[in-house]
Amino acid sequence: MTKHAAHRDFVLEPEDNERLANLAGPFDEHLRQIELRLGVEIANRGHVFRVTGDGKAVDATEKLLRALYEDAAGETLDPHRIHLRLGSASLERIAGDDDFAPQEVTVRVKRGTVRGRGANQAKYLHAISQNDINFGVGPAGTGKTFLAVAMAVDALNESRVQRLLLVRPAVEAGEKLGFLPGDLSQKVDPYLRPLYDALYEMLGVEKVAKLLERNVIEIAPLAYMRGRTLNDAFVILDEAQNTTIEQMKMFLTRIGFGSTAVITGDLSQIDLPKHQKSGLRDAIDVLRGVEGISFTFFDARDVVRHPLVARIVRAYDARDGKESQE
């Protein structure tokens, strides 16, 4: 919540319990969605509402709730419509970074509840809930991919998106897809194994298999994304440090209405030819400061694997720092 919280009391009129229930959604999920996106707290007793948060966010929330209450008289609201209304009103970035502390985002999955460990992971989860395009950059073990998959599963379970797309550039270890046995899915599977592991943990193997059969979950090598437009989808581009500049631009311009994209990568593990600039590094240079795009940077302090992993990351960082100075 903001450091200097303000609150606003107002009444939604005319009183209509059906409209109110439509506005709030099942178990108040629409109100919770607005809270996460705008960094406010919404409380109500019947048609009397109180909004608490940053002054600008409070003003915007009141206007949004009044507009949605009007809409609720003639149409059935759902998370997708709320998402579009938030986006069209450009409300995602009302609160400035300097005076804004993210609300805790918790994700309910098969294994229990997933939440950020530490401030940086909490910021990452909140950024994904707020923005349509999100970058998570940092070393292995910081939860970039796992948390992105958790948010994707939550969006699918809450019907905010209709499908999940898992995308990865297949350039690791210098192998070419054509030399691997099997069909396209079997060729790409090894490269997407970390994403599968996270999905299995959150949904269970059987459910993941069923969703894959129905194409609700889709796997795609990055090269096969050209020409597509992705609406109502949650798209994860993993290992983005191995994209070229052209591939990254192509991927980012695939995003359609009602979609969320998370791009994860580790700039210390680039497998591209030495003369080729990473598309992830280029995107950081070009897109920093673009409204609606978030960047979360992780370091060794955010590693949540075995303590030795953090020490290994620090040791390599120190070595690379010395080499760059020579």
d(CA 79, CA 38) in angstroms, rounded, equals: 15
Q: Residues near 181 by Cβ (< 8 Å), separated by ≥ 6?
A: 187
Q: Is 138 helix (H, G, I), strand (E, B) or coil?
A: coil
CATH number at residue 175: 3.40.50.300
Is 29 within a domain? yes
Contact between 152 and 311 (Cβ < 8 Å): no
What pLDDT was estimated at residue 304?
65
Check the CA dihedral 207-210-216-217 and report its sign.
Answer: positive
Q: What is the pLDDT of residues 30-66, one digit of tens each?
A: 998 888 878 889 999 999 999 998 888 898 899 999 9
What pLDDT was estimated at residue 216?
94
Q: Between 79-88 and 29-38, two packed helices, what is the crossing angle to 10 degrees?
A: 30
What pLDDT was estimated at residue 317?
76
Where does a domain end: 70, 99, 128?
99
What pLDDT was estimated at residue 74?
86
Task: Give the number of other CB atoms < 10 A from CB of residue 300.
Answer: 18
What pLDDT was estimated at residue 103?
56
Contact between 100 and 2 (Cβ < 8 Å): yes
The burial of 325, by beta-carbon neighbours within 10 Å (0-12 exposed, 13-18 middle, 19 or more buried), is given as exposed
Q: Let me know whether 251 and 226 are in one domain.
A: yes
What pLDDT was estimated at residue 182?
61
Q: Taking Cα atoms as reference points, which of 118, 11, 105, 99 lies closest to residue 53?
A: 99
- The predicted model gives 283-300 an average pLDDT of 90
- The predicted model gives 68-81 an average pLDDT of 88
Where does a domain end: 57, 82, 99?
99
What pLDDT was estimated at residue 306?
60
- The predicted model gives 14-36 an average pLDDT of 92
The amino acid at residue 251 is F
Residue 92: give the domain boundaries. Answer: 6-99
Residue position matching structure tokens 């608490």: 52
Q: Let me know whether 68 and 137 are in one domain.
A: no
Residue position matching structure tokens 């599968």: 196
- The predicted model gives 124-132 an average pLDDT of 89
Q: What is the pLDDT of residues 5-14, one digit of tens each?
A: 788 999 999 9
Q: Taking Cα atoms as reference points, which of 140, 123, 124, 135 lies closest to residue 237?
A: 135
Half-sphere exposure of 315 (CA within 13 A, CB side): 6
d(CA 84, CA 81) in angstroms, rounded, equals: 5
Q: Let me know whether 94 and 200 are in one domain.
A: no
Name the least confident of 73-87, 132-146, 151-165, 270-284. Answer: 73-87
Q: How many domains does the chain have?
A: 2
Is pLDDT of 287 > 90? yes
